[in-house]
Structure 1
Amino acid sequence: MAEVVHADLVEQILLRSEVKDLIRFKSVCKSWHSVITSSGFINRHLNRSYNKDRHNYEIGHRRIRLTDGSGSYTLVGSSNGLVCIISYLRIGEVLVGNPLTRELRQLPLSTIDSPSCWGFGYDSSTDDYNVLVGARKVGKNQTCVCWPQNGSLISRT
């Protein structure tokens, strides 16, 4: 006879799992997928990884492979495991990705003409990731915060 495992026990086990395993576990069943992709679980998993033994580091790198192979991309910044990159060939193209899950999202083009500076970060007071775009022109400087989470920058489901 099959035994039922309580949802809170499953979540505690999943919280201790590595991200690469969580990616596989999403396909086990609908309830696990729902738990793993919930924003609450993602935040708890991230906080748990920050609070682990700080003397036990794994040092390495992960290559982000883009399909066009042009080498025209540069890193804007990273936050909580996400990276933000821009294209120099396609002016205004911004991509946000997660190297561990290999998910990459292209954001809408910036409305600022000839952007010259970019920033990427997480605002814990609003639970939003933000991309900052700026342009410097004679007599007219422009800046704007673009693509907050509630504007579909990051989908947590």
Structure 2
Amino acid sequence: MASSKRASSMRLLLPSLPSELIEEILYRTPADSLIRFKSTCKEWYDLITNNKRFIYNHLSHSPERFIRIENYQTVQIMDPVKIIQSDLPIPDEFRVPYPIIFMVHCDGLMLCKCDDWRARGRSKDGGLAVWNPVMRKIKWIEPSYCYRKTDYFGFGYKNSCRDNYKILRFPGPLCDRDPECEIYEFKSDSWRSLNAKFDWEVDMECRGVSVKGNMYWLAEKKEDFILSFDFSNETFNDICVCPRPCELRRLGCFNGDRLSLLQQNDEEETINEIEVWMTNKLSDDGVVSFTKYFNVNTPDLPDLLYHTDMARPGYSIGKYRNIMAWCEQDVRKDDKWYTCNTLYDIDESGIRREKETGGRRFDDHEYYYLFICSYVYVPSLVSCS
């Protein structure tokens, strides 16, 4: 009822304003609110639902959020600035025995690799879906033959045709067959083979990050480097060497056009020291390279990147040399172990803020099955169909 009254009030107030100004106001309105405003009038419905220019301009104004799946039952979305969390039931399609095991984000769409607990012990299992949490829409991607446990996936688009999203599938290092690589296109709704040379191995704990339509992974050949896949040319590229590797590291995006690398030492003499590295703009002509952005070496830093070797957090690098990270950690209370979800804001001086956002008894937790426990996510109106 309250949302209908707000929509009616806006309908009465806005017709007297120029259309350009109305759009500027709507650009700054959260995507989940705009979904409710679609019924305000026919013009707004068309603008919010079908106008690609408006949809992508709105996306460029949309602030980053964190998204995580709690205990295979709840979708949790966190505003890292205001530290406000919203919880929604997970779609029925993603409930056990068919849970999400990892995701890749692109333009507010989540590419979801799902397991199939009924197929445990087989080399072929699971499914693939594209999900827009704001629109609450899911598009299942049928395989050309099957998906495998060892598959890697990329998600992006051709620069000249942004709304024709593409999915890349290629095998991981444990594959027992000859390497095979495929591309799926939304518009044709079909897979096709892609010839590619595989003389490297992707870091098994790095599920990759999509930046400006291309995919990036941590990989290894003779040395550690950043492997990219260009969806416009449909080619793999070695774009730059990584900094001296730490055992614990995560690749991310900074400011929409650069890569960030978060590393945390686990050596006894530098326990928990955090390093943040940054590339130049990926769109720049010339060589891409990393430079150290800042590091933190203060007492009592949390283990951001280490939890059972698997449940790595989502993180975001701020403009003021700070890190926002949403983590799972084990804590002991009253002689019992619990897994707690904590949001950290850390800068060069150490922990600025921390807030426990939930948790549960350790023996009820199946975190060991998650590769990443939270993801950076940008709410959007982009269609997944």
TM-score, normalization by structure 1: 0.74
Aligned residue-pair number: 149
Letter in 1 for 2:52: S
Does residue 1:16 correspond to 2:28, yes or no? yes
Change (3 A) 1:58 1:98: farther
2:57 corresponds to: 44
Q: CA deviation at 1:18?
A: 0.9
Where structure 1 has 5 or more consecutive residues not aligned to the other structure, the ranges are none
What's the counterpart of residue 143 of structure 2?
A: 110
Which of 183, 197, 215 in structure 2 is aligned with 1:145?
Answer: 183
The amino acid that maps onto 2:108 is G
Deviations 1:24-72 (A, max 9, x none): 1111111101111221111111112359xxxx83454755613152143
User: 1:130 maps to what in 2?
Assistant: 166
More strand by share: 2
Q: Hey, what does 2:103 align to over in structure 1? A: 76
Identity %: 21
TM-score (normalised: structure 2) = 0.34
Q: How far off its partner does 1:87 sit?
A: 2.7
Q: Give unpaired runs (5+ residues) of structure 2.
A: 1-11, 65-79, 120-124, 191-381
The one-letter code matched in structure 1 to 2:154 is F
- The answer as to whether partners of 2:30 and 2:62 remain within 8 angstroms in 1 is no
Question: 1:98-118: CA deviations, max 9, x gaps?
Answer: 1122222222x1114453313
Seen in structure 2, the aligned counterparts of structure 1 residues 152 and 15 have a Cα distance that, compared at 3 Å, is farther
- Matched AA of 1:143: C
Superposed structure 1 runs of 4+ greater than 6 Å apart: none
One-letter amino acid matched to 1:130? K
Partner amino acid, structure 1, of 2:90: R
1:93 is the counterpart of 2:130: no
Instruction: Kindly name which structure, 1 or 2, has the bigger radius of gyration based on alpha carbons.
Output: 2
What's the offset of the Cα at 1:7?
2.5
| Secondary structure at 2:135 match in 1 | coil
Q: Which has the higher helix share?
A: 1
Give the stretch that moved more between structures: 66-75 or 79-88.
66-75
The answer to whether the 8 A contact 1:76-1:118 is kept is: no
Gap change, CA 1:77 and 1:88, over 3 Å in 2: same
Local SS of the residue matching 2:33: helix
CA distance change for structure 1 residues 49 and 18 in 2, over 3 Å: closer, same or farther?
same
Gap change, CA 1:110 and 1:31, over 3 Å in 2: same
Give CA deviations for 1:103-143 in whole Å, capped at 9, x if unaligned.
22222x111445331323223513143222224343x2211
Distance 1:152 1:17 in 2: 32
Counterparts of 1:78 and 1:150, CA distance in 2? 19
C-alpha RMSD of matched pairs (Å): 3.1
